[in-house]
Structure 1
Amino acid sequence: MGLPKLTTLVRELKAENPHLLLLDAGDTIHGRTFTNLVKGESMIKLMNVIGYDAMVPGNHDFNYGYTRLVELAEQTANFPILCANVKKNGKFLFQPYFIKEVNGKKIAIFGLTTPETLYKSHPNNTKGLDFIHPSKAAAEMVTELKKQADFIIALVHLGLDAGSEYTSEQLAKEVGGINLIVDGHSHTRLPTGKMVGPTLIVQAGEYNKNLGRVEVSFTTTNIEMRASLIAKEETANTSEDPEILRLIADENKSQENILRTVIGETTVELIGERQLVRTGETNLGNLLTDAMRILSGADLALTNGGGIRASIARGEITLEEVLEVLPFGNTVVVKEIKGADIISCLEHGTAKYPEANGSFPHVSGLSYIIDLAKPAGQRITDVKVNGRPINLTQTY
């Protein structure tokens, strides 16, 4: 729906009920050129104006390196960036929680981010940090906060993917005393939330397509929660906030000379849709890996589908579009590895197939077949390098 419309909705909701908390569940300040070129600052400034009360860092928010994220938290954000399970030298890297009184009730909010960040952002971005198991950190938070608050919110970037080691559902099952979990990471759309025991988990999908809403009522004997989503389709007649429009336009103008540079053209749409690049081959994945192989002079090339973040429409290709497809600043590396290790890489990347997963391998100079009748780890067959059967002992 876009931030200008989201801002209008938030202000309308605050006018109806001033007892409102606005929270963000992470992966917020990286991924679009609007934020990438200034290392997250533009998004934090917009969030200040919109009136956010707190956010939790997602794995991609560490993509500029944790020192940049700390800098934004301390010098730019007018709201706390919360995280209770990341430490450096035994001390919290971010503020772990805060308590706010809302209409006479004390609401405690603490943050948790996924330990998957250690490998879902470049390892150098988190070097020297300790990621504590979310359930362990949450249990400590609840023990401390239940004495001080009437209602406890876990603002988390954990997700609900079945293949993840850490999930918000696991958190709800393992740690009692959390009333509400506001979740991100898995891009899951929960129209009315998900109850796990007495804990409500909410998640609003992806890419600002929905604004999640939870109404909390305190009765004499109970706490009632009702979750809903305001979908993009419902905002067709919602006006765009003029101040946010102006701020976005000013930032875009300062970047336009770089971003509008035309670097090529395509006669077909280049497919980078999330669901497709995480489950199979696409023409954009082929183009990227072909370029990697040809320009590096390697025998073959491999990249993961999770690193392909957007499609490119037919016509001229601008630098902005390329940066949206490849926002992470990754570097092509050439290594010599044995044929057996190549097969291990393919087994790892396809272990969750046909489930969509960011590890799905896009390749060039290489072909393979996935045999779903076999167990994960033994599925890859008929591997060929440049049309010839792979040699398990040969170095490529």
Structure 2
Amino acid sequence: MNKRIRIILAAGLLLVALPFALIANGGGEVPLKGSGEIIVLHTNDFHGHPIKFFHYPSPDVGGLPAIATLVEDIRDEHPNVLLLDAGDLNTGRPESNFFDTTPDIIGYNYIGYDALTLGNHEFDKPLAILEKQQRLANFPFISANISYADGTPVVEPYIIKTFDDIRVGIFGLTTAETPTVTSPNITGSLLFEDEVEAAKRIVAELEPKVDIIIAVGHLGLYDDNTLGSRRVVSMVDGIDLFIDGHSHTNLSEAVWVNETPIVQAWQWGLHVGKATITVDNGKLSAFDWEALPVNLKEVSEDADGNNIYTYIGEEYTEDPYLLAALIPYKNQVEVELGEIIGNSTAFFNQSEVRITETALGNLVSDAMLWETERLEVDFAIQNGGGIRADLPEGSIKKKLIYEILPFDNTVITVEMTGVEVQEMFDFFPTIPRGKGGFPQVSKGVEFTVDFTSGETRDISINGEPIDPGRTYKVATNSFLATGGDKYVMMTNGYQYDTSRFQRDTLIDYIQHLGGSITPKVEGRITVIE
């Protein structure tokens, strides 16, 4: 196939890619009843990861230059390729955050995305930023269930693409919980229609026009049919494929509900989903799906203890043109990290975060609690092993916060039963002394961990003992939320990923405190050994 013409305007760091396919909103009067094969590539929850990054234990994973090569390879093999994103392009690494996601959109333009569904994190910043992003994008943002107060849609509800003699309708859905997890100053004037009702309405509108209907929803994939994409598919007929996001689900195979496959491609561009759709006389006759790793690696050691990295699947070289357009953003971040964000009146010691309460652990935990206040979180917990550097007295540069919290952990809220919370506190004395799982907790939590008797006692959460009959909402980092450091009791309940990196939260919290911080140890944790 002919390759797209690429123009990089180095002075402005802007890139224009000529469209390789026409997009028609509402085009096509009747289904074409065609036959053939369509490849649907998809991502979700990209969260500002435009350039390759370290994802434990693998260096140099993901990144749009590698994804560009992956997509181009598939387009060279298949004439009919559709490329979609299920939302949450915003809120991630500094290479993206510092520039309102401009590098990511440049990359999406270059690769040739066909559409992106609005995720809840598209509303992290004022609507003017979202409008600017739409103007920069060479592809449409879509969602069928968001409107202004007067009923005007915020974005187009769907697009229609034609491949040979097959018409495909693609519509977007955004989680209706968006107003409760974003600032009311941004979403307060918007209306979010129930996802099922919106899907029924749009499917009825599309069915007379197209052969195949694809829903691209930022809803989440959960364990039953009462939530997220499973709820929609179980209650709405006529959807041939549901591409999902929001829950950051790492699938190895499609999930089928009422003969409709639901797929999701993990997060951060670590996977690209690849669905192969076979159409016979305008009907879906065969379906296959796989998750393609983007330069993920297995790690082993040689005889000298050096790490050996083996690619999982294919190795994708980085597209040199796109890489050249994105590297200046990375370089500018290095300059930005020299910014002074505040001042410390005294030394915050990191050396004891694995054995006892520390002022630095309190600061990190309190920052997570502050970040999730609007979500009515009860308390926050951090593993000591996730805190990796001291915070000296004097001026605080952003770069120092990135050294204190070097991992790409986001702030997540986890719903836990009182029994599970008790189980977590009972787990503390079993952690070997000096190991990274030792907890640091937010204000409002007090307990005694007795390593001699193997028990945790005198537990108080906001002045009350643990109630085994209630549900608690706990803020933590994404490492612990997935069962890291053996915190498996956290993995059972509903989780919400704010997609705010811990380090960005800590930076904002220090500035919220007026920029001046003083170390305090307040008797949150008493250790007996």
TM-score range, shorter chain: 0.7 to 0.9
- 1:19 equivalent to 2:80? Answer yes
Residue 223 (structure 1) shift: 2.2
Does structure 1 retain, via aligned residues, the 8 Å contact 2:273–2:292? yes
Residue 170 (structure 1) shift: 0.4
Distance in 2 separating the partners of 1:307 and 1:145: 48
- 1:319 equivalent to 2:398? Answer yes
Measured against aligned partners, the alpha-carbon deviations of 1:369-390 in whole angstroms (never above 9, x if no partner) come to: 688883224999xxxxx669xx
Aligned residue in 2 for 1:241: 319
Q: Which amino acid aligns with 1:238?
A: Y
Does structure 2 retain, via aligned residues, the 8 Å contact 1:34–1:252? yes
Q: How many pairs align?
A: 342
Q: Which amino acid aligns with 1:240?
A: E
Does structure 1 retain, via aligned residues, the 8 Å contact 2:386–2:407? no
The 5-angstrom pairing of residues 92-103 of structure 1 reads: 92-103=153-164
Distance in 2 separating the partners of 1:286 and 1:163: 37
Aligned residue in 2 for 1:274: none
Residue 354 (structure 1) shift: 4.6
- 1:205 equivalent to 2:266? Answer yes
TM-score, with length taken from structure 2: 0.56
Residue 70 (structure 1) shift: 2.7
Of residues 333, 347, 358, the one that matches 1:255 is: 333
* Pair 1:270–1:44, CA change in 2 (3 A): farther
Distance in 2 separating the partners of 1:28 and 1:239: 23
Of residues 59, 70, 77, the one that matches 2:137 is: 77
Measured against aligned partners, the alpha-carbon deviations of 1:11-54 in whole angstroms (never above 9, x if no partner) come to: 00010113111111111122221221122222112111111111
Of residues 135, 148, 157, the one that matches 2:209 is: 148
Residue 289 (structure 1) shift: 3.9
Aligned residue in 2 for 1:182: 243
Measured against aligned partners, the alpha-carbon deviations of 1:231-281 in whole angstroms (never above 9, x if no partner) come to: 23435632111122112211122332112458799756989xxxxxxxxx9
Distance in 2 separating the partners of 1:312 and 1:24: 33
Aligned residue in 2 for 1:366: 445
The DSSP-based 3-state class of the residue aligned with 1:364 is coil
The DSSP-based 3-state class of the residue aligned with 1:79 is coil
The DSSP-based 3-state class of the residue aligned with 2:76 is helix
Distance in 2 separating the partners of 1:114 and 1:46: 25
- 1:3 equivalent to 2:64? Answer yes
Distance in 2 separating the partners of 1:387 and 1:282: 10
The DSSP-based 3-state class of the residue aligned with 1:9 is helix
Question: RMSD of the alignment, in Å?
Answer: 4.1
Residue 2 (structure 1) shift: 2.0
The 5-angstrom pairing of residues 231-310 of structure 1 reads: 231=293, 232-233=296-297, 234=312, 237-261=315-339, 267=350, 286-289=362-365
Aligned residue in 1 for 2:8: none
Measured against aligned partners, the alpha-carbon deviations of 1:66-99 in whole angstroms (never above 9, x if no partner) come to: 33213321x1110010011000021100011000
Distance in 1 separating the partners of 2:366 and 2:316: 44
- 1:91 equivalent to 2:152? Answer yes
Aligned residue in 2 for 1:160: 221
The DSSP-based 3-state class of the residue aligned with 2:286 is strand
Of residues 248, 255, 267, the one that matches 1:194 is: 255
The DSSP-based 3-state class of the residue aligned with 2:238 is coil
Residue 320 (structure 1) shift: 5.4
- 1:63 equivalent to 2:124? Answer yes
Residue 315 (structure 1) shift: 7.4
Bigger RCO (CA 8 Å, 6+ sep): 2
Structure (1 or 2) with the greater helix fraction: 1
Distance in 2 separating the partners of 1:116 and 1:92: 18
Q: Which amino acid aligns with 1:254?
A: Q
Report which stretch shifted further, 177-186 or 25-34.
Answer: 25-34
Distance in 2 separating the partners of 1:284 and 1:353: 29
Report which stretch shifted further, 99-108 or 230-239.
Answer: 230-239
* Pair 1:143–1:239, CA change in 2 (3 A): same
The DSSP-based 3-state class of the residue aligned with 1:64 is coil
The 5-angstrom pairing of residues 28-43 of structure 1 reads: 28-43=89-104
Does structure 1 retain, via aligned residues, the 8 Å contact 2:84–2:116? yes
Does structure 2 retain, via aligned residues, the 8 Å contact 1:107–1:149? yes
* Pair 1:379–1:315, CA change in 2 (3 A): closer
TM-score, with length taken from structure 1: 0.74
Q: Which amino acid aligns with 2:164?
A: N
Residue 147 (structure 1) shift: 0.5
Distance in 2 separating the partners of 1:326 and 1:245: 23
Of residues 272, 285, 290, the one that matches 1:223 is: 285
Aligned residue in 1 for 2:469: 375
Residue 65 (structure 1) shift: 2.2
The 5-angstrom pairing of residues 42-53 of structure 1 reads: 42-53=103-114
Residue 364 (structure 1) shift: 1.8
* Pair 1:375–1:123, CA change in 2 (3 A): same
Q: Which amino acid aligns with 1:209?
A: L
- The runs of 5 or more residues in structure 1 that have no matched partner are 272-280, 294-300, 331-345, 356-360, 381-385, 389-396
Whose Rg is larger? 2
Aligned residue in 2 for 1:296: none
Residue 282 (structure 1) shift: 11
Give me the identity figure in percent. 32
The DSSP-based 3-state class of the residue aligned with 2:172 is strand
Distance in 2 separating the partners of 1:326 and 1:146: 46
Distance in 2 separating the partners of 1:379 and 1:56: 28
* Pair 1:377–1:203, CA change in 2 (3 A): closer
Structure (1 or 2) with the greater strand fraction: 2
* Pair 1:352–1:373, CA change in 2 (3 A): closer
Does structure 1 retain, via aligned residues, the 8 Å contact 2:86–2:243? yes
Residue 171 (structure 1) shift: 0.5
Does structure 1 retain, via aligned residues, the 8 Å contact 2:418–2:471? no
Does structure 1 retain, via aligned residues, the 8 Å contact 2:416–2:472? no
